[in-house]
Amino acid sequence: MKKKQISRREALKRMGGFFALTAMASYTGLAATSCKSSTETETTTVTGKRLIFFFSATGNSLYVGKTIAGEEGQMLSIPQEIHKEHPVYEAEEIGFVFPLYCFIPPTIVQNFIRKSTFKADYIFAVGTYGANYTLFPEYFDKLAEECGFSVNYISAVKMVDTYLPYYNMEVEKATDKNTEENLATVVAEINRHENYRLPITERDRFFYEGYYRHSGRDRVNPTFTRSEKVVYSTEDCIGCGICTNVCPHGSWKVVNGKSVAEGECENCLSCVQNCPSKAISIIRVDPEPDEPNRNARYRNPNVTLVEIIRANHQV
Question: Residue 121: which domain range?
Answer: 28-221
Give the Cβ contact number of residue 35 at 10 Å. 17
276 falls within a domain: no
Residue type, 130: G
What confidence tens digit (pLDDT) does each residue in 111-145 have? 999 999 999 999 999 999 999 999 999 999 999 99
In what side-by-side order are the strands of the sheet with 153-158?
73-77, 44-54, 87-99, 117-129, 153-158, 196-197
Q: Tell me what pLDDT residue 2 has.
A: 53
**Cα–Cα distance between 20 and 310 in angstroms, integer?**
8
The pLDDT, as a whole number, for residue 16 is 63
Do 74 and 315 contact (CB within 8 A), yes or no? no
Count other Cβ atoms within 10 Å, centred on residue 265. 24
Residue 69 included in any domain? yes
Per the domain annotation, does 298 fall within a domain?
no
Query: 182-199 burial string, b = 16+ CB within 10 Å, else e?
Result: bbeebbeebeeeeeeebe
CATH code, 97: 3.40.50
In a domain, 279, yes or no: no
* pLDDT score of 268: 98
Instruction: Compute the distance between CA of residue 174 and CA of residue 264 in angstroms, rounded to an integer.
Output: 33
Provide the number of structural domains found in the chain: 1
pTM of the model as a whole: 0.90
Residue 256 near residue 238, CB atoms below 8 Å: no
Dihedral sign computed on CA atoms, order 65, 71, 72, 74: positive
Dump pLDDT digits (tens) for 259-276.
999 999 999 999 999 999
Q: Does a structural domain hold residue 205?
A: yes
Q: Of 64, 140, 146, nearest to 101 (Cα)?
A: 140
